[in-house]
A and B are shown apart, each in its own frame.
Chain A
Amino acid sequence: GNSVTQMEGPVTLSEEAFLTINCTYTATGYPSLFWYVQYPGEGLQLLLKATKADDKGSNKGFEATYRKETTSFHLEKGSVQVSDSAVYFCALYTGTASKLTFGTGTRLQVTL
């Protein structure tokens, strides 16, 4: 079956530090890949997506590249801000039963 593995959190960084959150996946077929963000007390919001190999999704300074050879979709940001503190979920979609498969989430805390 499909699965998504994310690095364990929490990740604590100082403001302006470089961020990487690792995500690898197992899927049948050719999934679309996503990063969702959940700010405190809110629902999930789509942060970025990539629908085919070598695509790079980007939004709000975050980037992730769909790497089919390593089955990975790592999230990166060059300089994090306190406002980026949230839980980040990697997810995949194969079109089967309308189902998004989520990773367990990685909590990011950014301090001044």
Chain B
Amino acid sequence: NAGVTQTPKFQVLKTGQSMTLQCAQDMNHNSMYWYRQDPGMGLRLIYYSASEGTTDKGEVPNGYNVSRLNKREFSLRLESAAPSQTSVYFCASSASTGVSSYNEQFFGPGTRLTVL
């Protein structure tokens, strides 16, 4: 089991360029998430997908779009990158988005993105 995989590991973009971050999980999880990690800010939720075919905004969705391509894959797209989007991006997955009980989220290794 690879768990949660992310590509690429590192990326440098110029302001205004676009790119897609890829995430895949092999745990048959229903729910997937995208977070960004910034110094002094912890992790903040960008978007999540409770199940295949659904996506919802998190805490900081502006400037991003997502696609839940199938049950395994959840991509994050930056249409016009800005320096404020320089960050480390983590994808995570969980069995479900349980309301009454927590389903552990499993994290990928991250993508370090720099926007010049």
Question: A-side interface residues toward B, CB under 8 Å?
Answer: 4, 32, 34, 41-46, 49, 51, 89, 93, 95, 97-100, 102-105
Contact = CB atoms under 8 A, between A and B. Distances in A.
Contact of B109 (A43, A98, A103, A104): A43
B98 interface: yes
Given A99-B45, A104-B41, A44 B99 contact: no
A107 to B, nearest CB: 11
A39 to B, nearest CB: 10
Contact of A45 (B56, B107, B110): B107
Interface in B89-116: 90, 92, 94, 97-102, 104-105, 107-110
Contact of B42 (A4, A32, A98): A4
A95 B99 contact: yes
A42 to B, nearest CB: 6
Q: How large is the interface on B (under 10, 10 to 19, 20 to 34, 35 or more residues)?
A: 20 to 34
Contacts of A103: 42
A59 to B, nearest CB: 12
A97 B56 contact: yes
Contacts of B99: 95
Closest 10 CB pairs between A and B?
A43-B107, A102-B42, A98-B97, A95-B99, A44-B107, A102-B43, A104-B42, A32-B102, A93-B102, A43-B109
Given A45-B107, A51-B101, 11 more contacts: A4-B42, A43-B92, A44-B90, A89-B42, A89-B43, A95-B98, A95-B99, A97-B56, A97-B58, A99-B58, A102-B42
Interface string B1-30: 000100000000000000000000000000
Nearest to B105: A100
Contacts of B92: 43-44
Contacts of A46: 104-105
Contact of B90 (A32, A43, A49, A98): A43
Contacts of B100: 95
B75 interface: no
